[in-house]
Structure 1
Amino acid sequence: MNAIDTFDAGVFRRIAGRRSLDPRLPMDIAACRPHVVVLGELILDGWWSGSIDRLCREAPVPVFDVLNREYSPGGGANTAVNLAALGAKVSLLGLIGDDDGGRLLRRLLTEAGVGTRGVITVPGLRTQSKTRLSSEDQLLLRFDDGARRRAGTAETLLLGQAQGEMVAVAREVLPDSRAVVVCDYGQELLPLGLASELRSWAPQNPMFVVDAHDASRWAPLEPDLVTPNAAEAARLAGRDVETDRRVDWAREVAPIILSRTRSRNVVVTLDREGTVLVESAGAAEGAAQAHRTWAHPVPNKQASGGGDTFVAALTVAAASGLPLRLSADLAQVAADVAVHRPGTAVCSLRDLSDRLSDIPGKVVDPGTLMREVSVARAHGLRIVLTNGVFDVLHRGHTSYLEQAKELGDVLVVAVNGDESTRRLKGEGRPVNRLEDRTALLASLRCVDYITVFHSDTPIPLIEALRPDVYAKGGDYQAGSLEEAPVVERCGGRVVILDYVPDYSTSAVVRRIKSRR
């Protein structure tokens, strides 16, 4: 039974109707089960842990005693494994060596449910591997093995034959695919000539995603999406990364990347700062058309493959019918799951569902908030605090909350209780009760924690939390805030954000009343 037979058009339409991160989405994707083809350069990731407690006799260097060896599919193989874990039917196309590493990689892929008929063994080629050594949770060294393409006549002939076998399988599996992901890391093992031919082999016009060190190499494919990281985006745009404003920089260089890669859309991945999606339809209209996703960074240096998880989740979501922006939001959640785990981690549908179901956990009492912030601060993360009533959530609120998030790593929103709101705003307020106000805020990806305070000012909370940044909307002035000296005394700084004119809860309420 092929992917067309198993694809449920009714489920596809239901998924396409989603407009928010619903915990039911992963199960809908499972029912949809889109067929995704991965054309990739394949890597075997090794994670060796051990101890160091003596020096070598031969030289003054430490001796690493290996205690445990673990291996995982990496590179394009990791993308394929994540796709399978996220509910896709996966056909993998790539080359491996006729060696122990290649045989192990094939076995791991098969166990993960990835179709490996298009994984071709090349005699004389060493399988690319990346092995990390760590001791007591500290990464010490990574050593890479495996040759790139070699120039010898015999090797070139064998490689050409293997690529021919891979192309033959591609012709068979592409016709019923709903998405194709190209994972090109510069090993020079993928035949670039396919770039101008792949679309002609896929009559269903699947989504083509290029995740490459140099996506311009695949411009003849005219991909639907390219996913460079910051360094790759800089090379494509010919502009150095502006490290103090990477998000704005990504928005600015996106049109150049779209032009160079001939892609319809681009997502620039920025690690702890999330991602920036720019769709070609809105690129000419300026940076305001960009869509930002928010990461939940971790200090764990032993995590690898978060980008592969992001690409896999975005692809399977879009192939199942989700709008691209919502697919990017879902992919960010999946990447957050992966980077919170050691090694080359994978996010499954169950992981994704559990994380989405945890959204109400954003609303915490002050005691829980202090514990969570203490852990975040111990890991070097910056804490941003803002507060307000948030009675009728509008564009002014969402704009300034997104700006506030950009000032640090963890955004805490303190919300006035109902009685506090009534004292502050007068009778008839709040329009929406506290539970509704906090639930709406919890649905925003830029918000990490929400807590409620019942005093007339947030000063007690500021003194307890000691935020690195205290942010307020542009309708305030720092000199008029009685909280300002308290923030500064606690070692933080006050930031007044941009004002969005004509947007306020009072104005919204007046407009509603005037139309009765």
Structure 2
Amino acid sequence: MRTNGNRSAGQPLVVVGDVLLDEDVAGEATRLAPDAPVPVVEVAGERSRPGGAGLAAALAARDGREVVLVTALGTDPASETVRAMLPPEVRLVELPLDGTLPVKSRVLADGRPLVRVDRGGGVPGPPGPAVRRVLDEARAVLVADYGQGTAAAMRQPLAEAARRVPVVWDPHPRGRPPVGGARLVTPNEREARWFCGERDREGDDSLRAHSRRGALLAERWEALSVAVTLGCRGAVLARAHCDDPLYVPVAASLDGDPCGAGDCFAATAAVVLADGGLPTEAVGLATEAASEFIAAGGLAALAAGDAAGGRARPAPAASPAGDAAALIASVRGSGGTVVAAGGCFDLLHAGHVQFLQNARRTGDCLIVCVNSDASVRRLKGPGRPFNPAADRIRVLAGLGCVDAVVAFDEDTPEALLRRLRPDVWVKGGDYSVRDLPEAAALREWGGQTLVLPYLDGHSTTELARRAACAAP
């Protein structure tokens, strides 16, 4: 989760809403039951984690910031389980719960949900002085409303908070409307239709229609902005009486379990606003974070402790162009040749593109190993790189000849190559193979090192010099 780092000491991000206990029973389904036409799931494992506002709080705390979770918990076993599973970065401030905590149980086969069973539920009590003190200290507030009554019980203090600090409201059809003055409201497509009174889920699906719904809801809710999330299509950011919506697409195609992606979107947006960002920045980074969450495997990819604790997870090494490890296994499994190429690729030019296209032709897939920002700075000196690693990775991943991109922090990619073990290592420029330290590493597993020339007359240094000369 990336922010501008402008935190205020002693001012936490406060998450208010309904916590659930999420349970997943996962396995394989290869046959039907003899007594009914339903699949039989051979259970391989079970996982439990805080859901709803608990998941949102854990995701918001992944970068180590202080997060306060205001929610209703009781004395039932599910409430005790959630208390034990919340991460240390999340401080809990409780409302009383008359009843039991809702439990949401999913049965998944081959990673896909087959059925969900919901049980339990209670009525949250009124907020006490501790809750009001927390809201007074908040840097920003995220309301994760799952329709269980916590947001309704907190309505008056939340309305007061919205006049002081950014409030992000993730609404639910069974909940109450957001308080006036919310900085950003984040309904998904289905919820936006519901709130607009459209019961036909097959209605107008155009971006214009979604932005029109967002603008209508922003006016109705007296919200500064409304982001209608569209799943694999991204999000539309709209404002009341504004005909100029912002569309934020998803950078890569998504194929995975979207459960939890909405919480990831809302948590990221709240973090960005807490750090002084604008709603446009918040929606852009939130869309990116939610898509990366799904691409990385979503909730299933998190270890049980990590899913519950929301501890900081390193960003995946591979870009949206593909997961390097899975790609290598697939290509090798079919008898193909794995090719890797490397460089800084600071200002991508025609020479780089020709080099990468030629490298791809030497095998069946191409993995680009790109120097991190720190590595480029050590190699090229102050002022470099011109483009940060995230931008360089995204540009490289967008090339049709590139199948995956992996960053490395060292001065040379030797350690990374020993992990990837490509069949062919390709370097561009006027090197000789014997001068490359990576060549010795390739020989360890019988790999081959090639040097391909760049297109004459093209270099990052020359591009930078010409740009500087052209500047007024």
| TM-score normalised over the length of structure 2 | 0.62
Match among 441, 450, 456 for residue 399 of structure 2 = 450
What residue is the counterpart of 1:114 in the other structure? 90
- CA drift of 1:59 comes to 6.6
What residue is the counterpart of 1:325 in the other structure? 280
Distance across 2 between alignment mates of 1:34 and 1:295: 33
Go from structure 1 to structure 2 and tell me whether the alpha carbon gap of 1:259 and 1:273 turns closer, same or farther (over 3 Å shift).
same
- Contiguous gaps of at least 5 residues in structure 2: 332-346, 358-384, 403-468
Matching of residues 24-39 of structure 1 within 5 Å:
25-26=2-3, 28=5, 35-39=12-16
Match among 32, 41, 48 for residue 25 of structure 2 = 48
Richer in helix (by share): 1
Go from structure 1 to structure 2 and tell me whether the alpha carbon gap of 1:135 and 1:28 turns closer, same or farther (over 3 Å shift).
same
- CA drift of 1:93 comes to 1.6
- Structure 2 residue 271 is matched with structure 1 residue 316: yes
What residue is the counterpart of 2:125 in the other structure? 163
Matching of residues 400-415 of structure 1 within 5 Å:
none
Listed one character per residue, the Cα deviations across residues 163-217 of structure 1 (whole Å, up to 9, x for unaligned) are 12x3433212111101112222223x226364344343688x1111111114993
- Give the counterpart letter for 1:286 in structure 2: D
Go from structure 1 to structure 2 and tell me whether the alpha carbon gap of 1:441 and 1:209 turns closer, same or farther (over 3 Å shift).
closer
Match among 234, 259, 267 for residue 274 of structure 1 = 234
Go from structure 1 to structure 2 and tell me whether the alpha carbon gap of 1:232 and 1:446 turns closer, same or farther (over 3 Å shift).
farther
Match among 135, 143, 155 for residue 182 of structure 1 = 143
Match among 218, 221, 243 for residue 286 of structure 1 = 243
Match among 264, 271, 284 for residue 224 of structure 2 = 264
Distance across 2 between alignment mates of 1:306 and 1:139: 15
Aligned to 1:252, the other structure's residue is in SS state helix
- Structure 2 residue 101 is matched with structure 1 residue 139: no
Distance across 1 between alignment mates of 2:388 and 2:189: 34
- CA drift of 1:227 comes to 0.5
What residue is the counterpart of 1:478 in the other structure? none
What residue is the counterpart of 1:343 in the other structure? 299
Aligned to 2:69, the other structure's residue is in SS state strand
Listed one character per residue, the Cα deviations across residues 443-470 of structure 1 (whole Å, up to 9, x for unaligned) are 79899612479xxxxxxxxxxxxxxxxx
Distance across 2 between alignment mates of 1:201 and 1:251: 27
Distance across 2 between alignment mates of 1:262 and 1:71: 37
What residue is the counterpart of 1:3 in the other structure? none
Distance across 2 between alignment mates of 1:136 and 1:444: 31
Distance across 2 between alignment mates of 1:332 and 1:173: 28
- Structure 2 residue 58 is matched with structure 1 residue 90: no
Go from structure 1 to structure 2 and tell me whether the alpha carbon gap of 1:323 and 1:168 turns closer, same or farther (over 3 Å shift).
same
Distance across 1 between alignment mates of 2:41 and 2:401: 51
Go from structure 1 to structure 2 and tell me whether the alpha carbon gap of 1:186 and 1:445 turns closer, same or farther (over 3 Å shift).
farther
- Give the counterpart letter for 2:189 in structure 1: A
Aligned to 1:450, the other structure's residue is in SS state coil
Go from structure 1 to structure 2 and tell me whether the alpha carbon gap of 1:27 and 1:322 turns closer, same or farther (over 3 Å shift).
closer
Aligned to 2:5, the other structure's residue is in SS state helix
Aligned to 1:343, the other structure's residue is in SS state helix
- Give the counterpart letter for 2:53 in structure 1: G
- CA drift of 1:52 comes to 5.4
- CA drift of 1:92 comes to 1.4
Distance across 2 between alignment mates of 1:56 and 1:451: 45
- Give the counterpart letter for 2:250 in structure 1: W
Distance across 2 between alignment mates of 1:67 and 1:308: 26
RMSD: 4.4
Q: Is the 8 A contact 1:42 1:94 kept in 2?
A: yes
- CA drift of 1:442 comes to 5.0
Matching of residues 366-381 of structure 1 within 5 Å:
none
Listed one character per residue, the Cα deviations across residues 261-320 of structure 1 (whole Å, up to 9, x for unaligned) are 111111111110011112x3xx53413x4242425343223x410010110011011101
Aligned to 2:89, the other structure's residue is in SS state coil
- Structure 2 residue 52 is matched with structure 1 residue 75: yes
Go from structure 1 to structure 2 and tell me whether the alpha carbon gap of 1:448 and 1:115 turns closer, same or farther (over 3 Å shift).
same
Listed one character per residue, the Cα deviations across residues 68-101 of structure 1 (whole Å, up to 9, x for unaligned) are 2210111111111111113331221222343221
- CA drift of 1:139 comes to 2.9
| TM-score normalised over the length of structure 1 | 0.57
Distance across 2 between alignment mates of 1:251 and 1:179: 25
- Contiguous gaps of at least 5 residues in structure 1: 1-22, 150-158, 376-390, 394-412, 421-435, 454-511
May I ask how many residue pairs the two structures share in their alignment?
A: 353
Q: Is the 8 A contact 2:76 2:101 kept in 1?
A: yes
Matching of residues 100-499 of structure 1 within 5 Å:
100-109=77-86, 111-118=87-94, 120-122=96-98, 125-147=99-121, 149=122, 159=123, 163-164=125-126, 166-187=127-148, 189-190=149-150, 192=152, 194-200=154-160, 205-214=164-173, 217-239=176-198, 245-278=205-238, 280=239, 283-287=240-244, 289-301=245-257, 303-339=258-294, 340-343=296-299, 351=313, 354=315, 449-451=398-400
Distance across 2 between alignment mates of 1:134 and 1:336: 21
- CA drift of 1:127 comes to 1.6
Go from structure 1 to structure 2 and tell me whether the alpha carbon gap of 1:55 and 1:38 turns closer, same or farther (over 3 Å shift).
same
Distance across 2 between alignment mates of 1:175 and 1:183: 18
Distance across 2 between alignment mates of 1:450 and 1:33: 45
- Give the counterpart letter for 2:186 in structure 1: T
Aligned to 2:49, the other structure's residue is in SS state strand
Distance across 2 between alignment mates of 1:310 and 1:392: 31
Distance across 2 between alignment mates of 1:215 and 1:35: 28
- Give the counterpart letter for 1:141 in structure 2: V
Distance across 1 between alignment mates of 2:272 and 2:90: 18
- Give the counterpart letter for 1:258 in structure 2: A
Go from structure 1 to structure 2 and tell me whether the alpha carbon gap of 1:102 and 1:201 turns closer, same or farther (over 3 Å shift).
same
What residue is the counterpart of 2:465 in the other structure? none
Distance across 2 between alignment mates of 1:270 and 1:297: 13
Go from structure 1 to structure 2 and tell me whether the alpha carbon gap of 1:167 and 1:274 turns closer, same or farther (over 3 Å shift).
farther
Aligned to 2:182, the other structure's residue is in SS state coil
- CA drift of 1:46 comes to 0.6
- CA drift of 1:331 comes to 1.5
Which has the higher mean CA deviation after the structures are superposed, 41-50 or 135-144?
135-144
- CA drift of 1:35 comes to 0.9
Aligned to 1:314, the other structure's residue is in SS state helix
Q: Is the 8 A contact 1:215 1:228 kept in 2?
A: no
- Give the counterpart letter for 1:238 in structure 2: G
- Give the counterpart letter for 2:261 in structure 1: G
Distance across 2 between alignment mates of 1:126 and 1:333: 35
Q: Is the 8 A contact 1:231 1:241 kept in 2?
A: yes
